[in-house]
Structure 1
Amino acid sequence: MGHKKIEIAHMAQFLKLQNLPVVFDECPEPQPDFKFKISDDKIIGVEHTRMFLPKDAKGDDLTRHYVTANRIVAYAHHMFKTTNKERLSVYVDFVSSYGLDMPSRMLTRKDEKTLSNFLLEFVKTNIPTLNTNASFENFNMDTGEHQLPDPIGHISIYNKYDCWAVVEAGMVPNIKGDVLQERVKAKDGKLKNYSALYGELWLLLVEDQWSPLNYFDFSFAKLIDVSSRFNKVFILRSGNNIVHECNNLCKEENQWKGKDFNP
């Protein structure tokens, strides 16, 4: 599904969860992403944005790392299927500590070709018999040798289903961390470009527990404070079908006021 289709699906899900009619329009740049009428004389503009993993302690972009990891596995899977009809489930664990600090170098575009080719040949050489599995660690305790490239920590192969995927797990960042405030601040900078026709402007941040790139910890999220010049700030947990309305600490006189807004 393309980015715009995903945004439209999020918007429809949000309105439904707010018990509002699922009727809205897309807006061209530089306007907010969507608009809808909440009454005959009031139009709400909605800016959509997704929450992504923070950079790690060294400033490495973990989102880029995981996107590259998924590309490597996808390329290897595609190449395997062009010559082999075997139904395999292949799970690849790339070395990282998810949200803290990369213990080794980040994956790059160069790795997409070299590691996907390695993965292809490795799987072809190590296909287990039907309905069995094989597991491979980076370091082979029996031989005392490394059997996988440094960026790959573990490979599991099951001869039953057709599913190639990246294993992604670890510590989940807190929703109340810096990422939330940074996303809000970045979007606040767009208000100066918006038309005065909007009675209110809402910011819709989207989190998804089913995506390792967009998953955050909401364990202590009963009250989420933000400071934004949008009139309202919401977090849609799309995988949980839940909406959190944030507590906006920005004074009302500094929030959006249509033609009277002072950027």
Structure 2
Amino acid sequence: MPNKQSRELYLLERFLPALLENQPYTVLQPAPPLPDAIVEIDGRKIGIETTTLIANGEISRREGDQDKILNEAQKQFEKQCQMPLHVSVSFAESANWHKINRQQIASFVTDIVIRSISEVKELAQYKSYFSIRKDRLSHDYIRSIGISYSDKLTIPCWSPITSFMVPDAPVDTIQSIISRKSKNLQGYLSGCDEVWLLLLETGSPSSYYDGFDKLNEHTFTSSFSRTLIGRIPNGEVIELQTQSVTNSPESHS
């Protein structure tokens, strides 16, 4: 099974017990134009289409750039030194991420890490544990770098630290996703009795929101029987109030 399908099924199954009120069920992953999953319960086939709730594509692209920078920095470091380090890098979000030289930034990070390690080689605990932090770095894209080592750990981890404002759940974007997915409803219904739409809030900076309680103040236009948001970080399921333009049986409120 392809990784994308495996991931979709894994995320969906986190929410199925709550959605189906712990009733026994079986789940299948059909091919298009059917929805991502079909759940059979009490003799009925319920299609569930899933999609990721990402409102800020700019942040998503920046996350990708930061991951690529650190992947490259780790490769450069490990060509010179085989230490399973935990390296955390705080990036400057205000920098111009439209014009970046990932290779150059990665080399800067690698150089800081190597020089920092050389500074602590004389410490008595060097071979068992050390922790280093480099702040106020004179670099347009890097604020600080944290480096730690423990002989108890064997897997390296180089990860970005990003600061971001948490916006309220984006009503307009949610409606746009619902409307886009609703266009495929007839194809989804060709193999099941009804279809639900599940939007997934993944918890990454580009898909992390607050104010979900305020969504109760809105009625969304949707042709799905149920339109839901699955909050992966806390396992919460939110059902949106909806109405159908055609007032078809697929409407739910």
TM-score relative to the length of structure 2: 0.80
Cα offset, 1:245, TM superposition: 1.1
Query: Of the candidates 120, 126, 134, which is equivalent to residue 116 of structure 2?
Result: 126
Cα offset, 1:22, TM superposition: 4.8
Q: Does 1:26 align with 2:25?
A: no
* Count of aligned pairs between the two proteins: 234
Q: Does 1:157 align with 2:151?
A: no
Q: Which residue of 2 aligns with 1:7?
A: 8
Give SS of 2:103's match: helix
* Amino acid in structure 2 at the alignment position of 1:120: T
Q: 2:26, 2:41 within 8 Å by CA — same for their partners in 1?
A: no
Q: 1:230, 1:256 within 8 Å by CA — same for their partners in 2?
A: yes
Q: Distance in 2 between matches of 1:255 and 1:105?
A: 49
Q: RMSD of the alignment, in Å?
A: 2.6
CA change 1:9–1:53 in 2 (3 A) is same
Q: Distance in 1 between matches of 2:24 and 2:73?
A: 44
In structure 2, the gaps of 5 or more residues are: 121-125
Q: Which has the higher helix share?
A: 2
Q: Which residue of 1 aligns with 2:52?
A: 50
Cα offset, 1:176, TM superposition: 4.2
Give SS of 1:114's match: helix
Q: Which residue of 2 aligns with 1:73?
A: 70
Q: Which residue of 1 aligns with 2:176?
A: 182
Give SS of 1:3's match: helix
Q: Distance in 2 between matches of 1:22 and 1:168?
A: 40
Tell me the alpha carbon deviations over residues 198-227 of structure 1, each in whole angstroms, 9 at most, x when there is no partner. 221100111133x22321114534726422
Cα offset, 1:233, TM superposition: 0.5
Q: 1:93, 1:155 within 8 Å by CA — same for their partners in 2?
A: yes
Q: 1:31, 1:193 within 8 Å by CA — same for their partners in 2?
A: yes
Q: 2:91, 2:160 within 8 Å by CA — same for their partners in 1?
A: yes
Q: Does 1:89 align with 2:92?
A: no
Q: Which residue of 2 aligns with 1:99?
A: none
In structure 1, the gaps of 5 or more residues are: 56-60, 97-102, 139-146, 258-263
CA change 1:184–1:111 in 2 (3 A) is farther
Instruction: State the identity as a percent.
Output: 24
Q: 1:207, 1:235 within 8 Å by CA — same for their partners in 2?
A: yes
Q: Which residue of 1 aligns with 2:242?
A: 248
Cα offset, 1:21, TM superposition: 3.0
Tell me the alpha carbon deviations over residues 89-131 of structure 1, each in whole angstroms, 9 at most, x when there is no partner. 22212222xxxxxx332256x6332322222222212225242
Query: Of the candidates 208, 212, 230, which is equivalent to residue 205 of structure 2?
Result: 212
Give SS of 1:49's match: strand
Q: 1:72, 1:111 within 8 Å by CA — same for their partners in 2?
A: no
